[in-house]
Structure 1
Amino acid sequence: MYIGSRHNAADHLITAIRHGFAYAVVDCPLIIADGLKGNDYQEVSIDGGHFKSVRIARGITDADAMVVLTHVKGHALAGFGGAIKNLAMGCAPPVGKRDQHQGMQAEVNESLCEGCGYCETQCPFSAIHVEDKAVIDRSICYGCSACLQVCPRHAIYFNWERDVPRFLERMAEYSLGAVQGFKRKILYISFLTDITPDCDCVTWSDSPIVPDIGFLASADPVAIDTAALDIINQERGLTGSSLQCHHEPGEDKFTGVWGYVDGSYILEYAEKIGLGTRSYTLVEI
């Protein structure tokens, strides 16, 4: 879906190896689940408010069991990225990722736009052209937020109250489709280390917003994400990070970075549609 080296299985494998996921290191084969060109998927029926079926990579639907390894971090559109987001985006082919983003519409604040063209170069759908100001073709914009994240003047924005809840609900429903057929044969492991403010898919990184904590394991994606969010919020925020506020223990760290997104919304919706429960008990090892 995005510009980069993950458009096809060959480039994706090369990228994975360069990041340390070679067979000699992990001692298991690496399989790109949606096929050579990202179009090998299966329609999975669900009973959601947005989808009655979702498109899940065939390598996922063919599997007998699954271990979901997640690096918990912030995210510009979701507030934070945990196991639910990992299921939704990680198990979907490119067309499924677009399904989830569809409906979000980027807007341009012309009073801030300087016409620098960064957004045009980063748009994976060629939906932006720049004359004096950036202009977005809404008929082909998928709301991926690539433009928003590179704009140096913060001139691109979404209607957060309208678009973000819909995006989070679509992700939760895709997660529900991803776990269908496993009959609870899924283990979730979430790493609460290097908790950076933005998604791992962006082309830059930033300082962690809280100290390293450890890792969590669960059989429930909603419970593990709820626990992760609670534990992170109990930490004192690190100075010199992207945290603009909410440094004190008990304050929501991710809204301290992305103030317009409440990451807990997806947990409520995921519980509502039967993906899991927000109730959990911590057992320290």
Structure 2
Amino acid sequence: MGSTVWFAPFEDGADEGTVCRRTREVFAAAGLGAVVPEGAITAVKTHFGERGNDSFVSPACVRVVVEEVKRACGRPCLVETSTLYRGQRHNAVDHFNLAVEHGFGPEAMGCPLIFLDGLRGNLHVERPVNLRHCETVAVAGDFTLIPAAIIVSHFTGHVLSGIGGAIKNVAMGLASRAGKLRQHSQGRPEVQAADCIACGTCAQWCPEDAIMVGQAAHIDEGRCIGCGECVSVCPVGAIDFDWNAPAATFNEKMAEYAYGILGDKRDHVGFVTFLHRVTRHCNCMGTKGEKVCPDLGVLASTDPVAIDQAAVDLINGAAGRDLLEEVWPGAQYTAQFAHGEAIGLGSRRYALERV
């Protein structure tokens, strides 16, 4: 038996008021208020965007979700975790200041803002899963204390996984730094020296100081953690992954992390995903990315696999081809869904209900 995904379409370039209204309508249609126990602290997990990025879900739309949690008699708080790479989200202090800068401050949102993995991303709880790739998952520590959550995702492409949606938002966004590192530990990028202009941008962004720049950049394989930031920031495309081996493994690890992180609170988690300003790169990039497809609408479900599958189907259906495979060839993004379904994270089969 499949899951249900609700879809509230809107026109390409719809104004913020329309997107907010459709968000409220799809939240209600999906009955996401029912996942919130009365009086329960409820995490609203979103992504505040890196400095210089402007394609994240708008604060006004996230505030709609906060208000709906309050309407359901929950006690909402915005939550996030620290990143692996250098930038404005590497620790809780700078991340908080960036969130405020981007409009997500507590006064604007009407709820507290909490970093679940501590000051520097080191607070975590090991949760056993005993799956193909992971025996345990390193969950952001304070997420284990929160009884309910609404996962607000901006669907995008992604340099490693091909796509970033609800599964990635949970798997990476609610893992501690150790958990993020373990998920990234398989693949390694390679520099094409003939194309490299030795600008040093990759070295500036590398979280492990694994890149040295002479006549061309060189990656120390012993220090590289495979996070992919160098691939994302290279201005001339001189760094890339060997997609033959690690891509499916990375996506399967993310499915296992999402499964372990959600754990026994799966009946108290809802998902809202925006097919709005869909870009090639995720919101971790400090740039203003161009859209790869028209704006389509906003989705809601209680199944992370189904909502991501529906997002892919809608985007590719509108394009009339596998657009997401074209954006990141060889990333094997469907491994998230296939493995997620196999381990019980959710279902690829779904009924789409238009709102």
TM over 0.5, shorter chain: yes
- For the 8 Å contact 1:255–1:261, the answer to whether it is kept is yes
Give the aligned partner of residue 97 of structure 2.
Answer: 14
Task: Classify the secondary structure of the residue corresponding to 1:25.
Answer: helix
Give the number of the structure whose residues are more often helix, by fraction.
Answer: 2
Q: Give distance in 2, aligned partners of 1:14 and 1:255.
A: 36
| 2:161 maps to amino acid | A
After superposition, residues 182-193 of structure 1 pair within 5 angstroms as: 182-193=265-276
Consecutive aligned runs of 4 or more in structure 1 exceeding 3 Å deviation: none
After superposition, residues 130-279 of structure 1 pair within 5 angstroms as: 130-236=213-319, 249=320, 251-279=321-349
Query: How many aligned positions are there?
Result: 272
Give the aligned partner of residue 108 of structure 1.
Answer: 191
Q: Give distance in 1, aligned partners of 2:304 and 2:288.
A: 26
Q: Give distance in 2, aligned partners of 1:209 and 1:108.
A: 26
| 1:52 maps to amino acid | E
RMSD of Structure 2 on Structure 1 (CA): 1.3
Larger RCO: 1 or 2 (CA < 8 Å, sep 6+): 2
1:94 pairs with one of 177, 184, 189: 177
Q: Give distance in 1, aligned partners of 2:104 and 2:86.
A: 21
- For the 8 Å contact 1:198–1:205, the answer to whether it is kept is no
Unaligned ranges ≥5, structure 2: 1-83
- For the 8 Å contact 2:247–2:332, the answer to whether it is kept is no
Give the aligned partner of residue 34 of structure 2.
Answer: none
**Structure 1 length-normalised TM:** 0.92
**Structure 2 length-normalised TM:** 0.74
Give the aligned partner of residue 160 of structure 2.
Answer: 77
| 1:66 maps to amino acid | A
- For the 8 Å contact 2:232–2:281, the answer to whether it is kept is no
Structure 1 residue 112: Cα displacement? 2.5
Structure 1 residue 183: Cα displacement? 4.1
Partner deviation per Cα, 1:139-159 (whole Å, 9 max, x = no partner)? 110111111122233222211
Give the aligned partner of residue 65 of structure 1.
Answer: 148
Partner deviation per Cα, 1:52-106 (whole Å, 9 max, x = no partner)? 1010012211111111111111111111100000000110111111111002112
Unaligned ranges ≥5, structure 1: 237-248
Give the aligned partner of residue 129 of structure 1.
Answer: 212
- Compared CA separation, residues 270 and 118, structure 1 to 2 (3 A): same
- For the 8 Å contact 1:61–1:181, the answer to whether it is kept is no
Give the aligned partner of residue 353 of structure 2.
Answer: 283
| 2:301 maps to amino acid | S
- For the 8 Å contact 2:306–2:347, the answer to whether it is kept is yes
Give the number of the structure whose residues are more often strand, by fraction.
Answer: 2
| 1:168 maps to amino acid | N
* 1:50 partnered with 2:133: yes
Task: Classify the secondary structure of the residue corresponding to 2:139.
Answer: strand
Task: Classify the secondary structure of the residue corresponding to 1:212.
Answer: coil
| 2:302 maps to amino acid | A
- Compared CA separation, residues 115 and 273, structure 1 to 2 (3 A): same
- For the 8 Å contact 1:79–1:262, the answer to whether it is kept is yes
Q: Give distance in 2, aligned partners of 1:81 and 1:91.
A: 14
Q: Give distance in 2, aligned partners of 1:95 and 1:205.
A: 29
| 2:215 maps to amino acid | D
Task: Classify the secondary structure of the residue corresponding to 2:235.
Answer: coil
Task: Classify the secondary structure of the residue corresponding to 1:254.
Answer: helix
- For the 8 Å contact 1:100–1:167, the answer to whether it is kept is yes
| 2:129 maps to amino acid | I
Q: Give distance in 1, aligned partners of 2:129 and 2:349.
A: 23
